Structure 1
Amino acid sequence: MVTDTEGYIHIIEYLTEHFSLFENSPSVRADSDTVMNVIEQELSEQIISICSQNEALSFNQRNTVIREVDAIVYDLEEILSGVINNKVTDEQKIFIKEFALLIKNLFDSEIHRQFLT
């Protein structure tokens, strides 16, 4: 659906261009959010938003969206493997939120193109 689009490739390139934001992250403390926790939280919020904004999606279409998000999380784990368990900084939180919104926009476009036209 989205992971095989040119838009997704551009979003991943955008992440790699900003990888320096994630270098030298502090080690995680027991009471702090990790990079992965924030990624999962932000993507979850966006997926909930996608599904609630597109009530016409069937059960199978929603499952397709969820499977795609799982694939995206896997890609992010691979790309950010060295820092995924580090404490997230405020600057990283801002970037991750922006990144999740880009992913949502890509889903919105693909849902409209594939399912609602």
Structure 2
Amino acid sequence: MVTDTEGYIHIIEYLTEHLSLFENSSAANNSSETVIEVIEQELSEQIMIVCNQNEELSFNQRNIIIREIDAIVYDLEEILSGVITNPITNSQKEFLKEFALLIKNLFDSEVHTQFLS
């Protein structure tokens, strides 16, 4: 659905262009949240919004969306494997919030194209 689109490829390229945010992050960061926790939280929130905005989605369509999110999380775990369990910095958190919004926008577009048209 989403992970095989040109838009997803561009979003992943956007992430790779900003990998320097995740390299050499400050060890003095006192955040109790890790990179993966923020990824999961932000993507979960955005997908709940997608589903709430599209109440007419069937159970099966919602399951497709959830499987897609699982695939995206897996991709992010692979790309960020070296830092995934590190405490998150404020700049990383802001980037991941923006990244999750881009993913939501991609889902908005694909939901309307594939399910609601």
- Letter aligned with residue 112 of structure 1: H
CA distance in 1 between partners of 2:12 and 2:42 (Å): 16
- Letter aligned with residue 78 of structure 2: E
Gaps of 5+ in 1: none
Contact 1:35 1:88 survives alignment (8 Å): yes
Q: Which runs of 4+ in 1 moved over 3 A?
A: 26-31
Gaps of 5+ in 2: none
Taking only the aligned residue pairs, the percentage that are identical comes to 76
Over the aligned positions, Cα root-mean-square deviation in angstroms equals 1.5
Q: Partner residue of 1:52?
A: 52
Deviation of 1:25 after TM superposition, in Å, equals 2.0
CA distance in 2 between partners of 1:28 and 1:13 (Å): 29
The yes-or-no answer on 1:94 pairing with 2:94 is yes
* Structure-2-length-normalised TM-score: 0.95
Deviation of 1:61 after TM superposition, in Å, equals 0.1
The alignment partner of 1:55 has SS state of coil
Contact 2:29 2:89 survives alignment (8 Å): no
* Structure-1-length-normalised TM-score: 0.95
| Correspondence list, 1:11-50, <5 A | 11-27=11-27, 32-50=32-50
